[in-house]
Structure formats: C-alpha cells, structure tokens
Structure 1
C-alpha cells in the first residue's frame, strides 16, 4: 500500500482502489436498494423493469463520467463542493456543497426508512429497536474512521454480492431455466410509469457519491477515483439488472400478478 505523508495540512493518502471501491459499493447498499428502489421499479415497469434498470444505469454512468473527468483535475477533498468551487466560482461551490449535504441526508434517510421497514417486517420488533440496530453501528464506524469502515464494507459487500448471485441462480432453478425477453411492445406500460421507474432505478447504482468527498485520502486519486466510480456504477447496475430480471421472471413464470 502506498501512503503519502501529509503536506501543507493535507490528509494522509492511504486509501487504495480496493478500499475506495468497497467503500463506495457499500454506500450503494445493493441488496437494500433492490428491496426498496427496485421493488418500486418492478411495480411501475412490470416485466419491462430490466430495461428500466439498464436505462437508469446508463444515465447514472453519464454523471459518473463527469465526476471521473473532474476527479482528474481536482484531487483534494471536498467532492462536488471542490469541483464547483474550482471549476466555476466560490458562490456556486458554496451552493453546491449545501445542496449535496441535503441530498446526502435525504438519500440516507430513504435507506434508513427502507431498512427499518424491512427489519420490522422480518423480525417483528419495535421501530425504535430497529432504528437503534442501524444507527449505533453507523455512528460507531463514523467514529472509528474511514479506513476501518472500508474494511467493514469489504466483508459486508462480499456477503451482499454472494446473496444476490445466489438469489439469481436459485430463481432460475425454480423456473427450471425458463426465461423471457423484456419488450415494451408486448408488456404494455404507460410512459409515465416507465419514466418514473427509471427514476427509481437511478437511485440504485449511486454509491459513488461517497468517493468524491474523500479524494484527499486516496492514493493516486486522479486514476483511482474515476476508475472506482465507473466500476461501481457498472457492476452495481449489472447486478441490480440481473436481480430485477430474476424477480420479474419468477413473477411471470409463476403467473403472479404484479401489484400496482
């Protein structure tokens, strides 16, 4: 591991590609995203949900490419605030920084709400206990620092990916290999539901937002940050598409009516 000593008040650059990738992938919470955002995407787009997920991933990828180019120019900490501050103006940087803070809070609250709902539904415990079950480990990892958080993310993501792959494989075992081809001309949905489904799908492969703010702690950030952003979007979007297809295929092959 390459570690650069801090100079002029800068942070120590100790995060490698592996650290940043799993930290970002963990921020995506792929399995939880499937149970929240993807569930709405399937409800809205039905059997065309895999197409919706592919389009959503490509749209997120466009934004990821922008972040990649900006990360090559500005490698200090600060993320979107730094990008806007350096590339445009101090005022726009200030506004962008606050907008990103509000966005991050709302995005995290969506995950928190979804996680509490799932825990309460599965375990049947009080919402308050479910909240503590989530918030205490989160605060703990915030206190111990990003390096240990990255190590935790590595194991957590490995477990999540393994579960997602297992679910996809099991789904095809259940359907005895039967599959279908998503086609809007066959499985009719309204244009509004299709677009709204894309919006929910875009909420899944967006964990890269946790990378940019820590650029100042990344070794060789001009290469590592961009590479991590693209990798997380493509791998996360691909896994989400496979799982959404697996669920939609199960529903179709077993003649289950998708609730709307």
Structure 2
C-alpha cells in the first residue's frame, strides 16, 4: 500500500484500478459462499436456487447504486452510519451503527458455524458443536495475540477459492454431460413446487452471500479516479458476484434437482462427492476449512474493532469496550464477547443464523437508499436538480425491496432483530438525555495505528 506526504498530512496514493477495486470487493464477499449456501437457498425456494440468487442480485444492485451515489456525495466516508449521520440525523446515524453492530457482532458466529459444518462433514464421528468450539478457540487465540494473518491469507485464498469454484463448476458440467439431469432444465428456474413467497424468502437468505460489497466504499482515497471509480467498483462487484452466484447455483441445481436434501447445511459437501468423488471432496473440503478459519479471523477482528471504536468514542461504555490489552495491543474483552456469541451457534442452524444477521443488513440497506433521497432534497434546496428517476424512484424501490426482504426473514430473526433495535433505542435515549442532544460520533477513520493493532 503506497502513500504520499504533503506537508504534515499523509495520504494514500490513488493507484488502485477499477479491476483492483472490484477484486477487493469480491475478496471480502468470498464468492465460494454460494456453494455453502446452496442447500439452504434451494430448500427454502422450492428447488429454484438460481432464481432466488437472481432476485437477491437485483435487490443488492438497487442498494449498490445508492451506495455508489453516496460514495460520490460523501467521498471517503464509506459506511451507512456516516451517510445517515450526515444526510439525516446523528441519532438515526447512531441507530444505523447499532444495526451494523448486530451484523458485525454475529457475522463471526455464522463463519464459525460454516467451519464447523465442513469439519463435521469431513469427520462425522465428532459432533458439530465440538468443531464449533474448536473453531472459536483457534480464531480467538490468534486474534488475542495479534497475529497479522487474516489479510494476507484471505487475498491468497480468494484466488484459490475462485480456482476451486471453476473446477467445481467444470466437474458439475462433466457430470451432467455423462448422466444428465433427472428433471427438465427449466425446473431449476421455476417448478410446481415453488412460489413467489418461497423465492423471496430464499432471496432474503441468499442476500447474506453479498454482505461485504459495501466495503469497497472504504477505498475512496486509494482508487484511481476517486469516488467515480468507487461507484463503478461497487456496481461491478455486485454484478460480478451475482453472476457467479447465479451460474454456479444453476449448475448445482441441475446436478441436484428439487429442494430435498439429507442434510441441508452439508449439501455442498455431498454434491462435491457426487461430481468429483470422495478424494476430490475431501481435498476441496480442507481448502474450504482453511479459508473459513482465515475468514473467521478477519470477521472476529472486525467485530472487535467496531466495538472498540464505539467504546473509545463513547457510543458504548468506554471502561468496558474502549480498552486495549497492555500486553497484546488487542481488544481482548471484545474478542471474548464475540467468542461467547459464537457459542450460541450450537443452538442454531445455518438458515436461522444467516437470517438474523440479515436483519441489520436490510435495515442498513434501506437507510442508504433513504440517504440518497435526503441528498436529493438537499441538492434541490441548493438549486441543483439531480435526476428524479435516479435519485428518487430507484432508491424508493430500493427501500421497498429491502424492507420487503426484511419481512421475509423467519420469526426468530425478526424477534432477535426487533429486540436488538429496541435495546438500541433505549440506550440512545440514555446517551442523548431523552433524544434532546446529538448522539456520540464514531470516528472509524481516526487513530489508525491503534485500530490497526486492534484488527491484527
């Protein structure tokens, strides 16, 4: 990462191309997630996983367009929290940050659950809950001692993952060439066992696969062309990820028609055995496990960093959350809290776990679209006239789609999300003395030397 110094200010050089920006977004999303999520999405949709992924792609594209607009309007900000704070109100911004905390706090739990599922598929004699605790223990120990591993490993594993996806898709095509599909090709897109409700419910789950595309907005200072490149990068990332998800899920749905699986969560492993044999499945499974562990390191570190920043800035109790260990320079208590949350996954399946993570994501996506509309109002007030279709109609549709997908989450997800949001409102009322003063500001870009240690 290059930098240049002007006077006393250090800024990162704008040397990232559009291709590099899109690649960064894909690395954060981890396209291989489509293989893991296939069984859950196919079962929920009634056997039309590619259709569900297509709906999710369109929904994410609407929000991606809004992210691109906000990246240009608020260069370098890079989060729904900042957009909402600047365009709407500090208290709304705080609640969007609170919703984001739900994502960050529990996303590692999903990563650990996925890792445990793959471990259990490889070694079925050992219960899934044992592998869950092992996964939590490994990543927490690494993060507590501050080993700088996640970033380098994830970059390498992205190329390995993309290569393994191409190999898997090729094996699926070869299998279909030899054996054909036991159902008509069109059944993978729509069949008598599905419905609009089932597809949208599956799309709400499939949207989890896209989480992270908005991370592209954090590269504003490093991208050639600045905000313009970031905007294109966000859209390119969503389209590229969506194309991978749709194509691969379509091939997988042809290999395994319908919505019935022996084990929905481990459907991907069994498909790998079917098309490539036991040896191939085990080899790829180990690659997936390694990638999952590396991903969990990064996810847990990010969650701990967010809690540390919120504690440091007074949005959470500073004495508890705003401290770094004197020995390791890491937010140990925050890491242990995320580890404790990860153990909850012993009582959850993959469908439920991803669903209530998406509660916070969909709220955040809805708010980004609202921020675009608020930006339009400000621009018109200042005498400028942005395109109404682009800045009003499309984001309004984005709000509607995000909120609709939110309602398609299961009851447990809605209950957990609702309780979390209610706690945030009560806490905000205390912080702002009954909403009478602005909420504390979370300065995500300050003290980078310290927070980088927190994410080591």
Q: TM-score, normalised by structure 1?
A: 0.80
Task: Output the CA distance in 2 between the equivalents of 1:114 and 1:213.
Answer: 27
Q: Which has the larger radius of gyration?
A: 2
For the residue of structure 1 that corresponds to 2:245, the secondary structure is helix
User: Gapped runs of 5+ residues in structure 1?
Assistant: none
Match of residue 89 from structure 1: 89
Match of residue 31 from structure 2: 30
Task: Output the CA distance in 2 between the equivalents of 1:118 and 1:76.
Answer: 38
Moved more, 15-24 or 194-203: 15-24
Match of residue 105 from structure 2: 105
Match of residue 54 from structure 1: 54
Q: Which has the higher contact order (CA 8 A, sep 6+)?
A: 1
For the residue of structure 1 that corresponds to 2:92, the secondary structure is helix
Give the one of 223, 233, 237 matched to 1:232.
Answer: 237
Shift of 1:74: 1.1
Residue 241 (str. 1) matches residue 246 (str. 2): yes
Q: Is the 8 A contact 1:3 1:13 kept in 2?
A: yes
Match of residue 221 from structure 1: 226
Shift of 1:55: 1.0
Counterparts in 2 of 1:77 and 1:141: CA distance versus 1, 3 Å: farther
Counterparts in 2 of 1:200 and 1:163: CA distance versus 1, 3 Å: same
Shift of 1:153: 3.5
Match of residue 115 from structure 1: 115
Match of residue 197 from structure 1: 202
Match of residue 175 from structure 2: 174
Residue 80 (str. 1) matches residue 84 (str. 2): no
Q: Is the 8 A contact 1:60 1:206 kept in 2?
A: no
Shift of 1:164: 1.1
Count the aligned residue pairs.
253
Q: Is the 8 A contact 2:80 2:96 kept in 1?
A: yes
Moved more, 119-128 or 151-160: 119-128
Task: Output the CA distance in 1 between the equivalents of 2:172 and 2:90.
Answer: 52
Task: Output the CA distance in 2 between the equivalents of 1:81 and 1:98.
Answer: 9
For the residue of structure 1 that corresponds to 2:191, the secondary structure is coil
Shift of 1:7: 7.6
Shift of 1:53: 0.9
Q: Is the 8 A contact 2:4 2:12 kept in 1?
A: yes
Counterparts in 2 of 1:24 and 1:256: CA distance versus 1, 3 Å: closer
Q: Is the 8 A contact 2:34 2:249 kept in 1?
A: no
Counterparts in 2 of 1:105 and 1:34: CA distance versus 1, 3 Å: farther
- TM-superposition CA deviations, 1:118-177 (whole Å, max 9, x none): 22332456423233444556x3998649xx82x543321111111111111111111117
Q: TM-score, normalised by structure 2?
A: 0.48
For the residue of structure 2 that corresponds to 1:181, the secondary structure is helix
Task: Output the CA distance in 2 between the equivalents of 1:43 and 1:159.
Answer: 28
Q: Is the 8 A contact 2:50 2:250 kept in 1?
A: yes
Task: Output the CA distance in 1 between the equivalents of 2:145 and 2:72.
Answer: 29
Map of 1:127-138 to 2, 5 A cutoff? 127=131, 128-135=133-140
Shift of 1:215: 3.9
Moved more, 179-188 or 47-56: 179-188
Shift of 1:213: 4.3
Moved more, 243-252 or 15-24: 15-24
Task: Output the CA distance in 2 between the equivalents of 1:42 and 1:132.
Answer: 32
CA root-mean-square deviation: 3.3
Shift of 1:40: 0.8
Q: Is the 8 A contact 1:44 1:194 kept in 2?
A: yes
Moved more, 41-50 or 67-76: 41-50
